[in-house]
A and B are shown apart, each in its own frame.
Chain A
Amino acid sequence: MTVPSISITMTGSGGSGVMTAGNLLLEAAGRAGWFGLMTRSAGPQIRGGEAAAMLRLSSEPVLSHKDRYEILLGIDWKNADRFATEIPLDGDSIVLGDGEPPKVFSEAAGQQFQVDLQKIAKGIKGGRPNMVALGVAAALVGLPESSVAQVVEKALKRKGDEAVSAGKEALRAGMEAAAHLPRFDQLTVDAENPDPLAVDNPSNPRWNISGNEACGLGAVRGGTRFVAAYPITPATEVLEWLAPALPKLGGALVQAEDELASVNQIIGGSFGGTPSLTATSGPGLALMMESIGLAVASETPIVVVNVMRGGPSTGIPTKSEQSDLNIALYGLHGDAPHLVLAPLSIADCIFTTQWTVALAEKLQTAAILLSDQALGQTRTIIPQQEDAGIVAEREVPTVLEDGYERYAVTDSGVSPMAVPGQPGGQYTADGLEHTPTGMPSSKADDHHKQMDKRLRKLTDFDFGDNWAVVEGDEDAETAVLTWGSSYGAASEALAELRAEGQKARLIAMRLLSPAQPERLAEALQGISKLLVVEQSHGGQFYRYLRAYYDLDADVKSMAVPGPLAIRPSDVRKTLTEWS
């Protein structure tokens, strides 16, 4: 089924309040019972500068943006042409706002309208053009004034009554100014119940959350109580959410001096018995590599959330790409088996982070979680997400006698890990190869046994059904195989094709390491054509699949680098043209 939706972008230069307007529109859509996404795009300026709030409002939760925007609304048009490639328009689109839009937009769109946002705002005491624009946008998409007014009130309350009434007045003026403009009626509001989230209907709570906040929530749900980190775009919001949350839960976040420090601090925290995590992006992950190997060798559980951005080097800090797969899988020196996972959507950032924390603790190893800018810095309206109830459980010895072996060679490969403070459990954790008691050793036998156990504990573990999402037709012969955030566009593309009567299957992998060849073979039963979709230039995922899996099908790689998001139509087109 294809989901009815409306896509709208608002642009404005520094101080225009375009992001506020976008956030309020999203929140109001949530109040009216809709769902949606909002991605922000900004110019290179640190503060101010041109920005675009790109929204898709929908009747069901959605995972990706559409192929084009129906509405482009400029609070002003300064430098807005910089966003041209990110905001595709067509003959059915309208472009409107204050002043003359850049040619790229007016030539692409079917209709153009002038709305004097500035002038209207000037006529209202304390009125601001962004609130007028919010009113225009609300009217175009068919949101009831009551829903929008409520979110305006919530947002402006702390600025005082005057600000609230000015905001509401500007909102109404915007809605009136849009009276003569075309309406988009893809989405409807229940006239009986225009605000389904109001007090009388608390059974249907809806959340407004970003992927980075979702990672933070998943971390604490999983039991993380210590975080050390160094700020980096686009991961910082994970930390900004955790910084006030952890102390409330009896935990702590330390702002470290660099990523070498943050990863070692969390190894220390975890050694002390506390589930510990850091969040970073590519440059920080690269700095952490040596010590992630220490966590692997010393069997100290840690979680590194890596919110990917365009690379290599400083790359494109504010834009998404799935190009850190290689370093996450292969960046450690030596044979260093570890976990690599990726969330598939914003909502899934909660579950997958929680699961990753639990896995790292259970398997006493390092886990790298590959989120990305597209998930992390996008906000979405989704149903309230229940706690999956997966909690960190570390195997700790309860009775300690002489000769405790921290690195005992067990069948499962996991050895009970004493916690400082436990009498008789004293051991020295070591990155040097060691004997079962932890004594440094360069003997072949010790090295082989310890390497085997560190590998075995991952490869013999039953990860269950959460390794991937498999959806679509059991009798399909064509499948799309993808991972992480590319799931969103792929899923929508396949839903469209299936709605048109075609048979197709989608497999989106959450668990990348250790590889799950048997599970994938099962998921690919009956498939003769397989399209591998990823957002990288080098086809990193495709090559990984070739290395670890027998793909018994005709395989095609669709590897598209950032910074533009992969859209559902890209996947459709590749599939349709492939014959």
Chain B
Amino acid sequence: MVTTTEHIASTGGFEDSTAGSGSCPAMAPKDYKSGVKPVWCPGCGDYGVLLSLTKTLAELQLQPEKVSVISGIGCSSRIPAYLKTYGFHGVHGRSLALATGLKVSRPDQTVIVASGDGDGFSIGGNHFLHACRRNVDLTYIVMDNQLYGMTKGQASPTSAPDWEKGKLTPGGTGINPFHPLVVGLASGANFIARVSGTDANGAVPILKEAIEHPGFSLVHILSPCITYNRDQLAWKKMVRPAPVEATTDPARAARRLMTDDNLNLGVLYKGDRKPYQPTLEPSINEVRELEGQFVV
């Protein structure tokens, strides 16, 4: 319980309110778990993602209060509440925008954005383009199950055109799927990788690198929906490490990603674009100093 509260002026801006919490004992993956029981179906791929995240945070030994996990709406977007970090479970499709505002004004926080293929590429598609382009130092993990799990199994932008089980598209969508990594690269994402949600050990080093890489990192996570498309359980056996090393050349990355079959795991592209981050260093002390411009 809160024992003391005090009204503190929050005008000063951005200083870290908790500098100097001293040396902390080593953090284990379980220390990043909130203890809230997930709403997910037993066997959902998102459990593996949660495990991968707690392991990654422990690898990085990040203090939980220095991490914020921001999400939208969907099964996948439920993840923040299951972590012991700061979190924001916002509205459908807008997590990148919310995270941008947080990171730009609080660059001291490690900000991870969690999304699904619907949340991120359909309703949130415009923010995806501009988050890649803006290149704020965020890590964007998208749990792709090629459908809308939360609303009970409709087609998503990444569904195969002939997937006939989507309830609003009984004959399949007949539309080519969206290719998030190609679009991400073209829009300016500074780090692009794919991991399997069901292989935490494989995912952790890549997630770690994504978090540490400056600028906007996009991590595509294959996270099967056991309830609305059991076939996705086969992904586990189909995926493979990408046959070549990560490239830093966007033209080569583009060619590779254009022919990518969604099953290559690993870091696929690493850029060196400068992240977007205002300095937040005041050059004047008082608002009054701005007022001279109004004097007649």
A is bound by B = yes
CB within 8 Å of B: which residues of A? 27, 30-31, 197, 205-209, 213, 217, 220-221, 223, 225-226, 228, 245, 247-252, 254, 256-258, 260-276, 290-291, 293-294, 298, 361, 381, 384, 387, 391-401, 403-405, 408, 416, 418-432, 438-440
Least CB separation from A206: chain B residue: B296
Asked if A408 and B290 sit within 8 Å, CB to CB, the answer is no
- A251 to B278: give the CA distance in the assembly, Å: 8
- A91 to B129: give the CA distance in the assembly, Å: 61
Residue of B9, B18, B64, B88 near A298 (CB, 8 A) is B88
- A254 to B294: give the CA distance in the assembly, Å: 24
Residues of A contacting B23 with CB < 8 Å?
none
Asked if B17 and A419 sit within 8 Å, CB to CB, the answer is yes
Asked if B2 and A264 sit within 8 Å, CB to CB, the answer is no
Question: Contacts A251-B13, A290-B91, A428-B81; is A271 near B102 (CB within 8 Å)?
Answer: yes
- Shortest Cβ gap from A312 to chain B (Å): 24
Tell whether B7 is near chain A: CB-to-CB under 8 Å.
yes
Specify which of A263, A424, A426, A439 lies most central, judged by the most chain B CB atoms within 10 Å of its CB. A426
- A256 to B130: give the CA distance in the assembly, Å: 8
Residue of A258, A272, A392 near B9 (CB, 8 A) is A392
- A513 to B22: give the CA distance in the assembly, Å: 46
Asked if A397 and B2 sit within 8 Å, CB to CB, the answer is yes
Residues of B contacting A427 with CB < 8 Å?
86-87
Asked if B101 and A226 sit within 8 Å, CB to CB, the answer is yes
- Shortest Cβ gap from A350 to chain B (Å): 10
Least CB separation from B100: chain A residue: A265
Asked if B296 and A207 sit within 8 Å, CB to CB, the answer is yes
Tell whether B26 is near chain A: CB-to-CB under 8 Å.
no
Question: Contacts A264-B97, A268-B99; is A424 near B65 (CB within 8 Å)?
Answer: yes
- New contact pairs (12) apart from A254-B278, A428-B80, A428-B88, CB-CB < 8 Å: A217-B287, A226-B105, A248-B284, A252-B278, A260-B97, A263-B97, A267-B101, A271-B98, A387-B288, A398-B4, A426-B65, A429-B90
Specify which of B39, B101, B287 lies most central, judged by the most chain A CB atoms within 10 Å of its CB. B101
Tell whether B126 is near chain A: CB-to-CB under 8 Å.
yes
Q: What are 16 A-B residue pairs whose CB atoms fall within 8 Å in the complex?
A: A208-B296, A226-B101, A249-B282, A251-B105, A272-B105, A273-B10, A273-B17, A396-B8, A397-B5, A398-B6, A403-B1, A422-B17, A422-B65, A426-B84, A429-B88, A430-B89
Asked if B5 and A272 sit within 8 Å, CB to CB, the answer is no
- A293 to B73: give the CA distance in the assembly, Å: 15
- A251 to B287: give the CA distance in the assembly, Å: 12
Residues of A contacting B126 with CB < 8 Å?
257-258, 260-261
Least CB separation from B291: chain A residue: A217
- Shortest Cβ gap from A231 to chain B (Å): 15
Residues of A contacting B259 with CB < 8 Å?
none
Tell whether B279 is near chain A: CB-to-CB under 8 Å.
yes
CB within 8 Å of A: which residues of B? 1-11, 13-14, 16-18, 21, 34, 36, 39, 63-66, 68, 70, 80-81, 83-91, 93-94, 97-106, 108-109, 126-127, 129-130, 278-284, 287-291, 294-296
Residues of A contacting B284 with CB < 8 Å?
248-249
Residue of A252, A418, A428 near B105 (CB, 8 A) is A252
- Shortest Cβ gap from A412 to chain B (Å): 11
Residue of B2, B13, B279, B289 near A416 (CB, 8 A) is B2
Question: Contacts A252-B280, A425-B65; is A432 near B5 (CB within 8 Å)?
Answer: no
- A228 to B8: give the CA distance in the assembly, Å: 24
Residues of A contacting B17 with CB < 8 Å?
273, 396, 419, 421-422
Residues of A contacting B63 with CB < 8 Å?
423
Asked if A254 and B109 sit within 8 Å, CB to CB, the answer is no
- A267 to B282: give the CA distance in the assembly, Å: 22
- A153 to B86: give the CA distance in the assembly, Å: 56
- Shortest Cβ gap from A300 to chain B (Å): 8
- A421 to B64: give the CA distance in the assembly, Å: 8
Asked if B104 and A391 sit within 8 Å, CB to CB, the answer is no
Asked if A213 and B86 sit within 8 Å, CB to CB, the answer is no
Question: Contacts A421-B17, A429-B87; is A266 near B101 (CB within 8 Å)?
Answer: yes
- A254 to B130: give the CA distance in the assembly, Å: 12
Asked if A394 and B8 sit within 8 Å, CB to CB, the answer is yes
